[in-house]
Structure 1
Amino acid sequence: MSNLIQCEMMKLRKSVPLRILFLLMLALGLVSSMSSLSYVNSPVQQELEIALHGCDAFFSSLRDMPTIVMIGVLVLVFVVTNDFENRTIQAAICAGHSRAAILISKMLAFAVGYLAVYLPYPLIRAVVQGMLMGFGAPVSAALIFKMAASLIVILLSGMAVNSVVFWLAFTVRRSILVVGAGFVIAVLGTTALMSFTYSLPQLGSLLAYTPIGFFRELALGNYTPALLGRAAGMDLAVLVLTLLFSHLCFRHEDIR
């Protein structure tokens, strides 16, 4: 297991697609920060909820669920399906590694890759807009901890929402199919469900204790310790169930 995890971390460091995605998210953060300057002293700034200060910009960057989920889909493709297509996973199985260990190492690689790729976006917005327009709140250890905890829980929710895509990556094992299915199921599906919760209170109550429901609550700015704790617990439970279900489907698959 430890050898597999070390191998995954080394591949993450050397992955060209992840580096490109990292740079794209960095550029997106810079562009978002620069575009927000045009709303300074604008009468529509509050109406459009444009975040100007660094702290507000950081938390605003955690509200875009479609983008967060789609980044997760792309990371899964680079981490899992690419290894099926270049036969790295098949070689690991032939070398005697258990399929359970492979699944766990891939889930950990997914988490680390997801954080590494998405982190530049909220971080660069907080730093750049904090330098240009002020941070908007006293910088303290408590605030930094809240920002870090909120980012981690949001990405855990993104991983939980992408649990179906994780299973598909080990089932269909083709990048184009995983990207297509991930976009339809994880991105469009969850976006539609979140939209329906505003018009259908019954659906909102049903989804309240799912990763989608917790994401909706967090997107409203409710980054309280209690909500972050409940969301993290639910997300981790979903990820454990995803590993168990994926193992049931993957353990007897004939990998060629």
Structure 2
Amino acid sequence: MQLLKADFFKLSRSISPWALFLLALISAIIFAACSHYVATDSLSIETASGSLSLFSETQMMALLGSIAAGICLTTDFENKIIENAVSGGHSRNAIIINKMISFFILIALLYLPYAAITLLFAFTDAAFSGFLPTPALNILSGAAEQISTAGLFGKILLINGLSLFIFISQLMVSIFFMFLFKKAVLVITATYMTSLILGPVSSLNETIHSVMAYTPYGIDLSQLTFHMSSKFIGESFLISFVFILVFYLASFLIFRKAEVK
């Protein structure tokens, strides 16, 4: 708990998490605006699906999440904070869990703008286009077909919650890279390249897809809709949870044997 409080204090005083949050907020607004303009024929699908797709939550979570893991957490190795924690008697397992909790909160903070926009506009009459099969656009474009009730609110929370959990599991490799490399630049690069490569790789052929289907990179995000099945929810949660657990254990094994300098 002492480590977690110290992390919260450090992050709250740092400009980096808030700068990343601001970038996520701007990206979410631009992405929602693109969806609205496509729906009203003010913007072509080709343009929106091109360079503007970089503002989608799938792209921004991979990019900003990688940067957050590197700048906000891994620099503790470079600043000797981890070394001081170990020499101060804190167990290495406690340090890993502390970093995981801080990481989860950071990713949730980055995803918050997208979740907030879906909750804000799902109950309005504004038109949105699902020009990309992302969770946020699935909610915005599908909300018009739903009745505005507490049930709709619950469904939106469920989709956003599961989406966030999947994104966290995809970025969990950054925790492993953090304790492996101990350098912010290497962690950012390795995490982002992993997210960038493994997603498209899963669709190369049937064999690779069958293997990647057991990782969060192989989860079909287009199924995160108001009509997603309980089977899909259960499988996605289980795959993501196991992936998080595996990389927690891998991080523990690496850090347990590592010499902290």
Please indicate the TM-score interval, normalised by the length of the shorter structure.
0.7 to 0.9
Measure the CA separation in 1 of the matches of 2:232 and 2:11: 31
| Structure 1 unaligned blocks of 5 or more | 51-59
Q: 1:167 to 1:160 in 2, by over 3 A?
A: same
Map of 2:92 onto structure 1: 99
* Contact 1:25 1:117 survives alignment (8 Å): yes
* Contact 2:180 2:255 survives alignment (8 Å): yes
* Contact 1:12 1:18 survives alignment (8 Å): yes
Map of 2:134 onto structure 1: none
Measure the CA separation in 1 of the matches of 2:56 and 2:227: 11
Map of 1:149 onto structure 2: 158
Alignment of 1:89-238 (within 5 A): 89-124=82-117, 126-128=119-121, 131=124, 133=126, 136=144, 137-187=146-196, 189-196=197-204, 200-216=205-221, 218=223, 223-238=228-243
Q: Please tell me whether residue 80 in structure 1 is matched to residue 73 in structure 2.
A: yes
Does 229-238 or 91-100 show the bigger shift?
229-238
Measure the CA separation in 2 of the matches of 1:18 and 1:215: 29
The Cα of 1:75 is off from its aligned counterpart by 2.1
SS of structure 1 residue aligned to 2:182: coil
Higher RCO (C-alpha 8 Å, min separation 6): 1
Question: What TM-score comes out, normalization by structure 1 length?
Answer: 0.80
The Cα of 1:112 is off from its aligned counterpart by 1.0
SS of structure 2 residue aligned to 1:251: helix
Measure the CA separation in 2 of the matches of 1:156 and 1:191: 16
Map of 1:32 onto structure 2: 31
SS of structure 2 residue aligned to 1:96: coil
The Cα of 1:81 is off from its aligned counterpart by 0.7
The AA in structure 1 aligned to 2:110 is V
Map of 1:56 onto structure 2: none
Measure the CA separation in 1 of the matches of 2:12 and 2:171: 23
* Contact 2:178 2:187 survives alignment (8 Å): yes
SS of structure 2 residue aligned to 1:35: helix
* Contact 2:69 2:188 survives alignment (8 Å): no
The Cα of 1:128 is off from its aligned counterpart by 4.9
Map of 1:15 onto structure 2: 14
Measure the CA separation in 2 of the matches of 1:171 and 1:178: 9
* Contact 2:54 2:60 survives alignment (8 Å): no
The AA in structure 1 aligned to 2:7 is E
Measure the CA separation in 1 of the matches of 2:89 and 2:125: 55
Map of 1:53 onto structure 2: none
Measure the CA separation in 1 of the matches of 2:40 and 2:76: 50
* Contact 2:174 2:191 survives alignment (8 Å): yes
Q: 1:101 to 1:126 in 2, by over 3 A?
A: same
Runs of 4+ in 1 over 6 A off after TM superposition: 60-63
Offset from partner CA, 1:126-157 (integer Å, 9 cap, x none)? 52575461652323332222222222222222
Q: 1:150 to 1:16 in 2, by over 3 A?
A: same
The percentage of counterpart residues that share the same residue type is: 23
